[in-house]
C-alpha cells in the first residue's frame, strides 16, 4: 500500500478540524465538534427549551456559551409572542445565561452578536436561525440549525457535522459607486440558484476582498443560506481585525485554506462589472439588473434586517434620502439593527434625515422581514426590501410581492415611488 | 417501518415560509402548527390530508428558514413520508431530529402524481406506486438514523438509549 498525501483543507474544514480535535478532515467526514457559542431567538428558543425540559436535564453544559436574543416578534407583537419571550426569559434566569438580550439591550441577533464581540475569527457557532451563517464575515464557521440541534448544543456544547466541500469565489477589483455587498451576493445567487451551493461552504478570497467593508461582508455571508450553503467565510484581514479589536473576547484564530485545497468549483468575479441587482418575486435567484426591471410602482420600502440593518446601510440610505422626500403613497420603514446602530443614526444626524424625508424609524426587530409585524403587505402590494427572502407570503398576503435590493436601490425607490437606482433620481 | 397513503405533489424550492408561515410562529404547539400546514402553497391541504399521506416534491424541499416548526407541522398533519429530489440542508437535519421520515428519489418523484396511492418501506428504501404498479429504490438511511426517526426524534432516541 502506498501512502497518499493528505489533500489540503479549506478554511471552513480547518475550523471544524480544530474544534473536533483532529489534525485533518475531508469532505463528507462525520465529526463531533466543540462549540464556542449556541444561539437561539424568541421563535426557535421556546421549542429548544421545551425539548430541553423533556430530557429531564437540570443544567445546560455551559451557561456562558449560550446566547438568547429576543428579536423576531419583540417588542412583543401579541400575547402569544409575549409568552414565548417569557419562556426564554425565565429559562435564562434559571440557567444563569448571561447572554440574554431583551428589549433595551437586544438588537437583531446577527448584527448584535458580532457587535458585542461574542463571535469572531476561528469560532465554531451554531444558531437556531438560518442566517447564523453571517459570522463568516469575521472568519468564523457558523451555521444555522433547528431547535433540536440547538437543545443538544445546550446539553453538550457539542454538535455533529458532516464536513462540507466548498465553492471558491475569487473577488477582483472594486465596486462602482452605488453597488455594494448586497448586489454581489444577489448576483451570485442569481448565477448559481437557491440550491447552487447546497450543503457546501462558500469561501470568498482574492484581491477584491479588501474593498468590501465589514458590513458588506456580513451581508454576503448572511445570504449564503439563500444559495443553500452551510456557511460562507471571508479571510481574516486588516478590515476584520480592525472590527474585532476591542470587541472580540477570545483570541483571534485566523484560518486560511491550504494552497492545494480542493474546491467543487471556482468562480472569478470582477466587482467592477457588477450592477445594482434586485431579486424579483418569489425566489432570491430571480436576480435582475436595471435594464430588466421595467416600470414597477411600489407601496412600501423596508431598510433593515440582519442582512442590511447595520450602520453602513443606514449611511447609504441617508445619503440617498438627504434633502429628498419619500413619494406619496409609499411607506418607508427604516429599522436600525441594534441599539448601538440606532444611537449612531441619531448621533450622526441620519435619524433627522430619515424623519425629514417622511420615513419612520423603528426599534430593532426582525418583524416585517418574516411577515411578523411592523410592515405587513396587503393583497397585491409591492415592497422593495433590503431583507433576504422574497418567498410567497413572506411579508404578508400571498399575492404581495417582495423585491430584494441594496439600501441604495431601496432608498431611491422610496423617493421615486417605483423600483429604481439613485442615478435615476 | 412501512408507510402508505395518498400523495400531495409539489414542485421545486418549497420553502419553510409556505410550509408554515411565520405569522403563526407565535405558537409552537402541534395543534396550532397543523392547522396552518402548507397554507400558503396549498390552502386545501389541511382539509384534505389524512393520517399516513405522503408529500412528494422536486428539488430543494424545505429551503429558507431554520424553523423546526416546518417538519413539525408536516409530521403533526399526519404525513408519513416526504419524498423529494433533494432537501435543503437544515430541513433535512431537522426532519431526522424530530422523526419525520424523508427519502430522496428523483425517479419516484418523476413518476408519482398527485392523488396516487404510494407505499414505502423506509428500512429498505423501497417505494411502490400502487396506482401505477411501478416500484423505485431510494438509498435508505443507515440504521442509526432510522432508529432516531422511528424513536420519534433525536432527543427521544437519546433518552431511550439512556444518555
- Residues 36-95 of chain B with CB under 8 A from chain A are 40-41, 59-60, 63-69, 71-72, 86, 88-90, 93-94
CB B16 within 8 A of CB B92: no
Say if B86 falls within a structural domain: yes
Cβ neighbours for B67, distance < 8 A, ≥ 6 positions apart? A43, A44, A146, B16, B20, B22, B25
C-alpha cell at B113: 402524481
CA separation for the pair A28, A256 (Å, rounded)? 20
Name the β-bridge partners of A105. Answer: none
**Domain coordinates of chain A in residue numbers?**
10-274, 278-424
Name the β-bridge partners of A125. Answer: A37, A142
The mean pLDDT values, 10 residues at a time, for chain A of 425 residues are 73 98 95 97 97 93 98 97 98 98 98 98 98 98 97 95 97 98 98 97 98 98 98 98 96 97 97 98 98 98 98 98 98 98 98 98 98 97 98 97 98 98 97
Hey, is the C-beta of A77 within 8 angstroms of any chain B C-beta?
Answer: yes
CB A410 within 8 A of CB A327: no
CA separation for the pair A332, A286 (Å, rounded)? 24
Nearest one of A169, A175, A199, A165 to A26, comparing CA atoms: A165
Residue of A nearest to B96 (CA): A148
Chain B hits for A55, CB-CB cut-off 8 Å, are 155, 158-159
pTM score, two decimals? 0.97
- Residues 87-146 of chain A with CB under 8 A from chain B are 127-130, 132, 144-146
Residue B10 belongs to what domain range? 2-156
CATH number at residue B81: 3.20.19.10
DSSP per-residue codes, A209-250: GGGS-HHHHHHHHHGGGGGT-SEEE----HHHHHHHTTT--S
Closest CB to B67 among A44, A78, A228: A44
C-alpha cell at A179: 453597488
Task: For domain A10-274, give the fold.
Answer: Aconitase; domain 3 (3.30.499)
Q: Provide the pLDDT for residue A6.
A: 83
Say if B162 falls within a structural domain: no
- As a whole number, the mean pLDDT across chain B is 95
Q: Provide the pLDDT for residue A4.
A: 60
Q: Say if domain A278-424 classifies as CATH 3.40.50.880.
A: no
Give the SS3 label for residue B101.
coil
The alpha-carbon gap from B132 to the nearest alpha carbon of chain A, in Å, equals 31
Hey, is the C-beta of A198 within 8 angstroms of any chain B C-beta?
Answer: yes
Say if B161 falls within a structural domain: no
CB A146 within 8 A of CB A44: yes
The three-point CA angle A98-A100-A105 to 5° equals: 115
**Chains A, B: CB pairs < 8 Å:** 124
CA separation for the pair A244, A176 (Å, rounded)? 27
The alpha-carbon gap from A324 to the nearest alpha carbon of chain B, in Å, equals 34
Q: Are strands A99-101 and A124-127 parallel, antiparallel or unpaired?
A: unpaired
Cβ neighbours for A195, distance < 8 A, ≥ 6 positions apart? A227, A228, B13, B59, B60, B63, B86, B88
Chain A hits for B13, CB-CB cut-off 8 Å, are 194-195, 283
CA separation for the pair A151, A49 (Å, rounded)? 7
* Pairwise CB contact (< 8 Å): B67 & A371: no
- Per the structure, the count of domains in chain B is 1
* Pairwise CB contact (< 8 Å): B153 & A148: yes
Name the β-bridge partners of A401. Answer: A382
**What secondary structure letter does DSSP report for B60?**
S
Say if B163 falls within a structural domain: no
Q: CATH topology of A10-274 equal to that of A278-424?
A: yes
C-alpha cell at A373: 409585524
pLDDT tens digits, A28-64: 998 999 999 999 999 999 999 999 998 899 999 999 9
Chain B hits for A393, CB-CB cut-off 8 Å, are 17-18, 21, 40
CB B7 within 8 A of CB B56: yes
Residue of A nearest to B87 (CA): A198
Amino acid at each position: 500500500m502506498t501512502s497518499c498525501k493528505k489533500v489540503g483543507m479549506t478554511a471552513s474544514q480547518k475550523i471544524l478540524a480544530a474544534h473536533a480535535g483532529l489534525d485533518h478532515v475531508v469532505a463528507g467526514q462525520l465529526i463531533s465538534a466543540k462549540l464556542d457559542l449556541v444561539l437561539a431567538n424568541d421563535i426557535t428558543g421556546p421549542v429548544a427549551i421545551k425539548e430541553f425540559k423533556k430530557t429531564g436535564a437540570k443544567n445546560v453544559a455551559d451557561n456562558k456559551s449560550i446566547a438568547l436574543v429576543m428579536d423576531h416578534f419583540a417588542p412583543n407583537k401579541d400575547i402569544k409572542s409575549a409568552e414565548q419571550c417569557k419562556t426564554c426569559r425565565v429559562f435564562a434566569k434559571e440557567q444563569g445565561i448571561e447572554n440574554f438580550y431583551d428589549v433595551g439591550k437586544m438588537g437583531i441577533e446577527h448584527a448584535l452578536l458580532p457587535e458585542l464581540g461574542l463571535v469572531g475569527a476561528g469560532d465554531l457557532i451554531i444558531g437556531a436561525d438560518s442566517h447564523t451563517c453571517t459570522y463568516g464575515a469575521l472568519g468564523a464557521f457558523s451555521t444555522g440549525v433547528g431547535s433540536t440541534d440547538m437543545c443538544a448544543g445546550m446539553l453538550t456544547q457539542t454538535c455533529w457535522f458532516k464536513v462540507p466541500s466548498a465553492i471558491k469565489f475569487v473577488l477582483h477589483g472594486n465596486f462602482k459607486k452605488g453597488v455594494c455587498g448586497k448586489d454581489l451576493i444577489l448576483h451570485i445567487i442569481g448565477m448559481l440558484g437557491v440550491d447552487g451551493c447546497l450543503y457546501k461552504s462558500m469561501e470568498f478570497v482574492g484581491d477584491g476582498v479588501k474593498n468590501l467593508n465589514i458590513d458588506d461582508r456580513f451581508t454576503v455571508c448572511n445570504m449564503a443560506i439563500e444559495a443553500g450553503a452551510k456557511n460562507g467565510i471571508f479571510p481574516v484581514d486588516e478590515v476584520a481585525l480592525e472590527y474585532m479589536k476591542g470587541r472580540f473576547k477570545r483570541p483571534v484564530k485566523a484560518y486560511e485554506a491550504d494552497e492545494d485545497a480542493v474546491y467543487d468549483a471556482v468562480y472569478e468575479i470582477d466587482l467592477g462589472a457588477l450592477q445594482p441587482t434586485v431579486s424579483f418575486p418569489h425566489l432570491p435567484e430571480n436576480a435582475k439588473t436595471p435594464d430588466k426591471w421595467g416600470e414597477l410602482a411600489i407601496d412600501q420600502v423596508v431598510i433593515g434586517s440582519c442582512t442590511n440593518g447595520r450602520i453602513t446601510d443606514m449611511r447609504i440610505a441617508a445619503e440617498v434620502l438627504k434633502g429628498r422626500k419619500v413619494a406619496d403613497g409609499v411607506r418607508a420603514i427604516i429599522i436600525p439593527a441594534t441599539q448601538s446602530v440606532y444611537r449612531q443614526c441619531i448621533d450622526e444626524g441620519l435619524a433627522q434625515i430619515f424623519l425629514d424625508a417622511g420615513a419612520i424609524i423603528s426599534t430593532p426587530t426582525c418583524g416585517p422581514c418574516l411577515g411578523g409585524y411592523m410592515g405587513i403587505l396587503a393583497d397585491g402590494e409591492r415592497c422593495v426590501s433590503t431583507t433576504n427572502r422574497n418567498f410567497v407570503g413572506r411579508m404578508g398576503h400571498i399575492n404581495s410581492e417582495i423585491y430584494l435590493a441594496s439600501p441604495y436601490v431601496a432608498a431611491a425607490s422610496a423617493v421615486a415611488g417605483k423600483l429604481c437606482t439613485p442615478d435615476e433620481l | 417501518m412501512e408507510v402508505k397513503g395518498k400523495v400531495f405533489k409539489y414542485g421545486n424550492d418549497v420553502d419553510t415560509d409556505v410550509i408554515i408561515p411565520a405569522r403563526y410562529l407565535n405558537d409552537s404547539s402541534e395543534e396550532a402548527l397543523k392547522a396552518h400546514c402548507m397554507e400558503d402553497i396549498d390552502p386545501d391541504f389541511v382539509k384534505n390530508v389524512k393520517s399516513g399521506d405522503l408529500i412528494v416534491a422536486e428539488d430543494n424541499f424545505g429551503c429558507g428558514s431554520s424553523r423546526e416548526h416546518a417538519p413539525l407541522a408536516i409530521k403533526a398533519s399526519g404525513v408519513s413520508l416526504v419524498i423529494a429530489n433533494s432537501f435543503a440542508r437544515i430541513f433535512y437535519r431537522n426532519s431526522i431530529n424530530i422523526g419525520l421520515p424523508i427519502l430522496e428519489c428523483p425517479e419516484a418523484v418523476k413518476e408519482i402524481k398527485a392523488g396516487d396511492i404510494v407505499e414505502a418501506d423506509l428500512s429498505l428504501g423501497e417505494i411502490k406506486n400502487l396506482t401505477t404498479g411501478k416500484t423505485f429504490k431510494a438509498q435508505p438511511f443507515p440504521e442509526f438514523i432510522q432508529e432516531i426517526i422511528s424513536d420519534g426524534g433525536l432527543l427521544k432516541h437519546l433518552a431511550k438509549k439512556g444518555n
